[in-house]
C-alpha cells in the first residue's frame, strides 16, 4: 500500500512519500541557496528542520550540511547516513507522526510551495562520463553509419563503451541551450567549413551521482558498485551530429558534445528505485567475471521526450544492455578514482520500437524520415526556439517515483 503523508499528494504526483528526491533551491523572493526534498507540491527545507533538531538522531544532524548550495557534503556521509535521513524524513512526513504535522509555526517555515522556489544545479560536479549502453541505439547507429558492415564494433558486447564529457557545461533544467558552432564537412563538400550546427539533436538518458568514491588504484567490485550511488537524474546529452561526424575520428566526440548537458534538478535517492529492479537485455557472450552482477541490476523506469507540444519518444531504462553497476565496475577496474559528485550517464536509451528511439538521429533515421509535429510542422533536427522536455518515472502500486523534468530551449548566441 502507498505510504500516507499529512501533506495532500495526488496519486499521479512525481513526489510521494516513497520518493523524497533531494534538490538545491532558493526562494524566488531572494535569500541563500539550501537543500530540500520534494513532497507533493511542496519543498521541505531540510536546513530548517535540521536547525530545529529534528535530524538529531541521524549521523549528520546538527552539522549544517543542508544549509549548503550543493549536495556534495551530504553525499560524502555515505549510505548509512543517507538511509538514516531518509527513514527520519519519511517518519516526520507521515500522516501518523505529530512532530511536524502539529507544529504549525515549524510547518510554515519548513514547507514551501514549489512554485515559490527556483531550483538550482543540485551537485558540484567534478567529472562526467557518458556511456554508450543501449544495444538498440548502438545497433541503429551502426546501421546508419556503416550500412555495409556489422552494426556493432567487436568490442561492444564485451565492455561498456564510454567517453569523458565536460562537467563545466552540465546545466540544470530550464537553462537555455546555445546552438553550437564548429567545423562541418558534408559529404558534398571538398573541404570543411565553420558554421552553426545544422543537425542539432537531443539524447534521452539517465544519470547517477557518485556519493562516495574509491581510493586511487583500487577498483570497485561489481557487488559493491551500487553502494557508491547516491541518486539518479534525467540527462539530456545534447549532440551536434554534423560537428561530430567530422571531428570524432580517431578519438571520439569533443565540441559536438561538450557544449551542454541538461539534468533534472531533483536527485531521486537510489533507495527509492529498489522496488523497480528488473533484468536487463540478455547479455551474449556472458560478461567477464568482473562485470557479472550478483542479481538484476537494471530498473523499470519509463522515459518520454516532448518536442514542443508533441510527444515523440517513450522508452524504458530496462532496455539498457549495460547497467550502472557494470559501468562503475568497468570505469574503476583500471584503478580510476571516482569522487563524490561525479556524474555517470547511461548513454542514449533506445528500445525495440520506432517510438522508443531516444534521439532524432534514430527517430528521423539520420534526417531522412522527418517527424510530423502536432502543429503540422516537421523536424529532421532541432530548430531555434524548439523546447525539448524529458520526463521519467517508475510506476508503483498507487504511487509513482518521478524525476520531474529536464527541459531546454534552443537559442542563438
Active-site annotation, residues: 137
DSSP letter at 406 equals E
Residues 306, 389 contacting (CB under 8 angstroms): yes
DSSP letter at 148 equals T
In angstroms, the Cα distances linking 171 to 20, 196, 412 are: 22, 21, 17
3-state secondary structure of 356: helix
DSSP string, 280-332: -S--SSPPPGGG--SS--EE--EEEEEETTEEEEEEEGGGBSS-HHHHHHHHH
DSSP string, 211-256: SS---TT----GGGGGGGEEEEEEEE--EEHHHHHHH-TTT--STT
Closest CA to 219 of 334, 49, 104, 372: 334
Residues 261, 125 contacting (CB under 8 angstroms): no
First vs last C-alpha separation in the chain: 50
Q: How far apart are CA 74 and CA 77, in angstroms?
A: 5
Q: What is the H or E stretch that residue 91 is in?
A: helix 79-92
Q: Cell digits for 252? A: 571520439
Q: How far apart are CA 138 and CA 157, in angstroms?
A: 10
Sign for the CA dihedral angle at 255, 259, 262, 268 comes to positive
Up-side HSE of residue 130: CA atoms within 13 Å toward CB? Answer: 27
Judged on CB neighbours under 10 Å (0-12, 13-18, 19+), 352 is: exposed
Amino acid at each position: 500500500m502507498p505510504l500516507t503523508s499529512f501533506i495532500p499528494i495526488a496519486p499521479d504526483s512525481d513526489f510521494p512519500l516513497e520518493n523524497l528526491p533531494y534538490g538545491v533551491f532558493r526562494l524566488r523572493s531572494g535569500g541563500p541557496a539550501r537543500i530540500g526534498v520534494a513532497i507533493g507540491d511542496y519543498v521541505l527545507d531540510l536546513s530548517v528542520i535540521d536547525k530545529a533538531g529534528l535530524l538529531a538522531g541521524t549521523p549528520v544532524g546538527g552539522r549544517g550540511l543542508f544549509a549548503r548550495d550543493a549536495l556534495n557534503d551530504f553525499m560524502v556521509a555515505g549510505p548509512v547516513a543517507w538511509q538514516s535521513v531518509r527513514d527520519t524524513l519519511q517518519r516526520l512526513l507521515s500522516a501518523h507522526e505529530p512532530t511536524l504535522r502539529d507544529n504549525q509555526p515549524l510547518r510554515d517555515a519548513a514547507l514551501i510551495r514549489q512554485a515559490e522556489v527556483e531550483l538550482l544545479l543540485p551537485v558540484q560536479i567534478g567529472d562526467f562520463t557518458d556511456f554508450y549502453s543501449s544495444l538498440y541505439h548502438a545497433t541503429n547507429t551502426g546501421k546508419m553509419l556503416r550500412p555495409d558492415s556489422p552494426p556493432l564494433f567487436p568490442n561492444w558486447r564485451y565492455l561498456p563503451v564510454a567517453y569523458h564529457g565536460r562537467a563545466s557545461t552540465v546545466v540544470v533544467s530550464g537553462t537555455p541551450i546555445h546552438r553550437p558552432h564548429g567545423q562541418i564537412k558534408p559529404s558534398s563538400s571538398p573541404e570543411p567549413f565553420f558554421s552553426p550546427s545544422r543537425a542539432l539533436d537531443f539524447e534521452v538518458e539517465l544519470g547517477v551521482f557518485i556519493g562516495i568514491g574509491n581510493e586511487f588504484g583500487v577498483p570497485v567490485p561489481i557487488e559493491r558498485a551500487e553502494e557508491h550511488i547516491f541518486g539518479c537524474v534525467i540527462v539530456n546529452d545534447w549532440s551536434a551530429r554534423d560537428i561530430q561526424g567530422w571531428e570524432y575520428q580517431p578519438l571520439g566526440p569533443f565540441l559536438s558534445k561538450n557544449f551542454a548537458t541538461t539534468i533534472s534538478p531533483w536527485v531521486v535517492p537510489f533507495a527509492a528505485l529498489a522496488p523497480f529492479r528488473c533484468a536487463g537485455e540478455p547479455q551474449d557472450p556472458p560478461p567477464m567475471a568482473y562485470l557479472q552482477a550478483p542479481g538484476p541490476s537494471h530498473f523499470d523506469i519509463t522515459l518520454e521526450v516532448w518536442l514542443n507540444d508533441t510527444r515523440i519518444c517513450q522508452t524504458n531504462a530496462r532496455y539498457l544492455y549495460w547497467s550502472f553497476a557494470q559501468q562503475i565496475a568497468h570505469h574503476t577496474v583500471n584503478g580510476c578514482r571516482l569522487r563524490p559528485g561525479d556524474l555517470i550517464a547511461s548513454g542514449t536509451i533506445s528500445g525495440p520500437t520506432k517510438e522508443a528511439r531516444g534521439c532524432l538521429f534514430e527517430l528521423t533515421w539520420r534526417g531522412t524520415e522527418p517527424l510530423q509535429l502536432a502543429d503540422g510542422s516537421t523536424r529532421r533536427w532541432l530548430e531555434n526556439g524548439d523546447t525539448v522536455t524529458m520526463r521519467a518515472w517508475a510506476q508503483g502500486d498507487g504511487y509513482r517515483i518521478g524525476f520531474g523534468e529536464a527541459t531546454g530551449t534552443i537559442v542563438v548566441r
